[in-house]
Amino acid sequence: MLTFAVLGPLRVRSGERDLVIGSRTQRLLLSALLTRAGSVVSGDRLVEILWGDDAPATAVPSLHTYVSRLRGLLHTDGEAVLSTRPPGYLLQVTAEQTDMGRFERLVDEAGRALPRDPAAALGCLDEALALWRGTAYAEFADEDFARPEANRLAELRLGAIEQRFDAALALGRHADLVGAIAAAADEQPLRERPCGQLMLALYRCGRQAEALAAFRAFRQRLDDELGVEPSASLRALETAILRQDPDLYGISAAQTAGDPVATAGSPDTPSPQVPGTIPEETSSFIGREDDLTAVRAALATSRLVTLTGPGGVGKTRLAMQLAAGAQGYADGVRWCELGAITDPAAVGHALAAAIGARQQPGCDIEESVRAYLATRRLLLVVDNCEHVLDAAARLVASVQRSCPQVAVLATSRAPLGAPGELIQPIAPLPVPGDETPDAAGSASVRLFADRARAVRPGLDLTGQNLAHVAEVCRRLDGLPLAIELAAARMRALNPADLVARLGDGLALLTTARSTAVERHRTLRAVVDWSYALLNPAEQRLFDRLSVFAGGFTLAAAEQVCAEPDLVDTLAALVDSSLVTAGPSAGQVRYGMLATLRAYAAEKLAERGDAQALHDAHAACFAVTAEQFGATMRGPDEGRCVAVLDADMANLRAAHRWAVERRDTDLAMRISAGLYHYVVYRFHDEVVSWGETVLGLPGADTHPLYPVVCGAVGEGLTLRGDQRRALAVAESALRRAADPQSPRCLPVLKVLAAVALYEGRLDDCVRWAAEQTRLARIHGDAWREGEGLLFHGLARTYAGDLAAGLAIAQENLCVTTRLGNPSLLAWAKYCQAEALAGSDPDRARQLYTDAVALADAVAGTFTATIAQVGLAALLARSGEDAAALRAFRQCVDRWHRMQVWHHQWTTLRNLVPLLVRVGAAEDAATLLGALDAADTAAYGSDADSLAAATQELTAALGPAGYTRAVEVGTTLGPDGTVAFALSAVDGALASIEAGRAAEKQ
């Protein structure tokens, strides 16, 4: 019987012998047919796959010839598996004839066996994973026809590996698993399931501290990479470990990720989601099952679905529930909250931050968003669009046009009006009828009961109390927000009292309650009623809190609102459910729902002191930017970044207020205060604020002008826009009233950085030495450390290793005294670069230390720079497999961060390694891609690429080398990354195969 293997390089066997398919075109043809085995593939599609846009005039007869030869090869033993079926060809093979079919069957059997017989499940999974010999469709995995299937199989393989850990944990083999799970978690650093499995295995081995450390590292990685928190279930596991819960020795391992025991490949199994993307909801979800089904069906038929309805009807809560259970999106779910956005121009930046995109050179933020999403398959939830409707609609429409695999779920009081939009109106919860005996089963009554018992656990909701609650729900038209506000009053009232009070507050409702307008009036009346129950001090504070965007701390509320007895008054608002409270960035933060904030803003405007409150708010967050921005320079960097991240909406609102008022001084203070935030985290939106501020009246004569220019220049260097960064820095230096001022130090750093990136090492030395000299004059140790960093790197890269090492050691002494994790990581990196050639063991330790220091404060940019150095060192030391894995992680990280100038440097370092491990064609293709990216190499990089070019020309021949390079020039940036990752995977598979052969 013929069998086909695609879980690695293509292999065809007839019985016990391999069939040799020597021609690449024949292998390509067979692979294309295998991806659609059992279905007819049209001749036109096969021509497109074989020749692309360059199909010759003889393509159709040539295809017939290739098919005929392939049929002759496959039919040697009399099996007629390849037949002609108009309009093309059909490959008739059973699932058992393919290794992917057998793999999926075995994984399915393991999933069914795991709950009752983990040993049997483990046997199935071992057999399934043994079928893999490398990347699925290895030779053609990056071709359009094979990529979706290769990605699907890769995801199933990851699921099977994780399921195997579940089975082994269930059998008590935790002691043997720690290393394997840790390696899997390192390979897939954003998958939650391996993290939970590692925590559980470590804890069962008596290593509680390490289990908790694994959780903390994962949480920081999520915050750095995605700006999200781990799921509730993983946090619950952390709590159980802290409590030393005895149930941890019997917990199902699959529950560590909050999922049921998964049956990989089963249509009933939820697809793995990137955890924490969706805002956490601590209350229960009640009464929307039919709506969930309807919206899921809508998303199955439309790529843009908008949930519409009045404020308080539950659109956001429904979207959260749907997003949490969304399936079939390979790149997960991203949540973009627009509720705190007041400037339509900030919509693009908010969306970029939500998905992890960065602004690219020559592109505006919306173009960068589209480019980032173009090749991704994900669900994008855009919440609270109504107040920036035009901007949101325009951006969503452009994403829909440019990103064919992105589905959008929007929430808005009004439709977006974008092409292809499917509008899904959300109605209030059903209410019981006047004579309904089973009122307790009504969704609205169940919601009231759940929220009321949260504040009054012993509340009796039977008999007359139930009748009164049913009446309350009828009067509130089933509006969830109105019901929750009313239920919060159960702390001090009884249901009968509530009915009596609502009778007065809702007297205006004299018409039918079926329209959205009436529902809005109902909600308005409930908020009016809740507001009327507040005392004057509570009302005044409620109104004043509306100036905050996205949340606030107690200290900020005290500073902005300046109310006596504010703590007690704020607590009363929380008790009334008019203000929310919860932990964030290590402290309690308060917030208001968008509907309530809008209501409070109206009341504040009526009082006539809105402008004064906005002035106080902007001044408060200018101080926040200055204080935390300065404190970031010390050992408390991580906490400062967390605070500024949490207050981003308030900082945005303060910046916009300053710009709209043309208050150049206030706007300058905010942007200059956030200088170090830009340097440490390269926040695109904050860079754009600086660009806006530089255009305000009198900006170029303001004392902080050079600092803001430095922040903008830093951001531009990260985007890879070195020319603009240089222009901004040079302009700032020319205009400076005193070029020797300490405020010019950020500009000198930009000039040194651009010179280093462009290979102008003498210029880098000059600017870095000047920065160091000036920093010492002004007693600024932090700037001194930065100057020494660039000076040392430039000396090292120029080949003066002794000078580079001496400067690096001096830098290490300066930064050690400061205690700033990121600056200390840079100092260790600088020393490692100088020692890499002469003392590789010491250099390796320094690189490792640098990565750990940066990762400890979620400094992914710094950590990845050091990781690239470590990867290059491993390659020079002959540790090819370890180097390839390290390079793979770096390439993936740069791609996630959209940092292209460091990406090209990393890929240049990868090329010689691919040459050495025998991946000559891949290395040449990557060289072509680097040439097309127009990136300049210098120093040792240029020398190694020149040597690689000579080796590749000799290995492939001039014609073969030219063909491979030409392929690379067509890839484009994202295609280059995908190709590089595939090349690394292929090289690793070859190394593993070679090792296996040596053992036989």
Average pLDDT over every residue of 921-928: 92
Percent of the chain with pLDDT over 90: 32
Give the global pTM.
Answer: 0.62
Choose among 819, 739, 755: nearest CA to 787: 755
Contact, 5 vs 130, CB < 8 A?
no
Banded pLDDT at 670 (limits 50, 70, 90)? very high
Three-state SS across 462-497?
CHHHHHHHHHHHHHCCCCHHHHHHHHHHHHCCCHHH
pLDDT surpassing 70 at residue 212: yes
Q: Check pLDDT > 50 for residue 512.
A: no
Write the pLDDT tens digit of every residue in 140-191: 888 888 888 888 888 898 889 988 888 888 887 777 777 778 888 888 888 8
End-to-end CA distance of the chain: 27
Q: What are phi and psi of 231, to 5 degrees?
A: -65, 165
What is the crossing angle of helices 118-129 and 147-170, to 10°?
150
At 729 the pLDDT is 93
Number of helical (H) and strand (E) elements in the chain, helices listed first:
44, 13
Q: Whole-angstrom Cα distance, residue 758 to residue 353?
A: 28
Q: In what order do the strands lie in the sheet with 2-5?
A: 2-5, 11-14, 17-19
Cβ neighbours around 217 below 10 Å, total: 17
Confidence band for 252, pLDDT divided at 50, 70 and 90: very low
Res 939 pLDDT > 90: no
Q: Looking at the DSSP assignment, which residues form a beta bridge with residue 378? A: 406
HEC secondary structure over 603-639: HHHHHCCHHHHHHHHHHHHHHHHHHHHHHCCCCCHHH
As a whole number of angstroms, the distance between CA 789 and CA 765 comes to 10
Backbone dihedral angles phi then psi of residue 457, each to the nearest 5 degrees: -55, -35
Whether the link from the prior residue into 87 is cis, omega within 30° of 0, is yes
The Cα angle at residue 438 between residues 435 and 444, in degrees rounded to 5: 95
Q: What is the dihedral of CA 51, 53, 56, 61, to 10 degrees?
A: 50
Cα–Cα dist 298/408, whole Å: 11
Confidence band of 522 (pLDDT split at 50, 70, 90)? low
- pLDDT of res. 422: 93
Per-residue pLDDT at 474 exceeds 90: no
Task: Give the pairing of strands 82-85 and 378-383.
Answer: unpaired
pLDDT, position 186: 83
**pLDDT of 783 over the 90 cut:** yes
Structure-token pair, residue 24? 């690449």
Which amino acid makes up residue 653? Answer: A
Instruction: With a cut of 90, say whether residue 621 has pLDDT above it.
Output: yes
pLDDT value at 257 more than 60 = no
Tell me how long the chain is: 1000
Question: What count of other Cβ atoms lies within 10 Å of the Cβ of residue 894?
Answer: 24
| Cα–Cα distance measured from residue 297 to residue 771, given in angstroms and rounded to the nearest whole number | 61
DSSP letters, 395-406, are HHHHHHHH-TTE
pLDDT at 267 (0 to 100): 29
Tell me the HSE value of 50 on the side-chain side, using a 13 A CA sphere.
27
- Residues 847 and 843: their CA atoms lie apart, in Å, by 6
Residue 665 has pLDDT above 60, yes or no: yes
The angle that helices 347-355 and 365-373 make with each other, rounded to 10 degrees, is 30
Least confident of 51-60, 380-389, 846-855, 950-959: 51-60
pLDDT of residue 247: 63
pLDDT digits (tens, 9 = 90+) for 49-76: 888 888 888 888 888 888 888 888 887 6
pLDDT of residue 282: 58
- CA gap 435, 836 in Å, rounded: 83
User: Which pLDDT band holds residue 244 (cuts at 50, 70, 90)?
Assistant: low
Which range, of 490-504, 560-574, 731-745, averages the lowest pLDDT?
Answer: 490-504
Least confident of 5-14, 497-506, 797-806, 898-907: 497-506
How many whole angstroms separate alpha carbon 142 and alpha carbon 924? 16
pLDDT higher than threshold 60 for residue 274:
no
Chain segment 647-659, per-residue pLDDT in tens = 999 999 999 999 9
Question: CA 402, 405, 406, 407 torsion: positive or negative?
Answer: positive
Are 89 and 43 in contact, with CB atoms under 8 Å apart? yes
Cβ atoms within 10 Å, residue 769 = 18
Q: What is the mean pLDDT of residues 766-774?
A: 95
Encode pLDDT of 674-728 as tens digits.
998 888 777 888 988 999 999 999 999 999 999 999 999 988 888 778 889 999 9
Report CA 731 to chain centroid distance, whole Å: 36
d(C-alpha 560, C-alpha 889), whole Å: 45
Q: On the CB side of 25, how many CA atoms lie within 13 Å of its CA?
A: 15
Dist CA 130 CA 125 (whole Å): 8
CA atoms within 13 A on the CB side of 36: 16
In whole angstroms, give the CA distance from residue 991 to residue 995: 6
What phi, psi does 917 have (nearest 5°)? -85, 5
pLDDT score for 14: 82
For residue 260, what pLDDT is reported? 27
Report residue 278: phi and psi, to 5°.
-90, 140
What is the rounded CA–CA span in Å between residue 153 and residue 115? 24
> What are 944-973's pLDDT values in tens digits?
888 888 999 999 999 999 999 998 888 888
pLDDT digits (tens, 9 = 90+) for 400-448: 998 999 999 999 888 898 888 999 988 888 888 766 567 888 889 999 9
pLDDT at 78: 62
φ and ψ of 88, to 5 deg? -160, -125
Between the alpha carbon of residue 68 and those of residues 44, 195, 633, the distances in Å are: 17, 51, 70
- pLDDT, mean over the chain: 84
- Ramachandran angles phi, psi of 413, nearest 5°: -70, -25
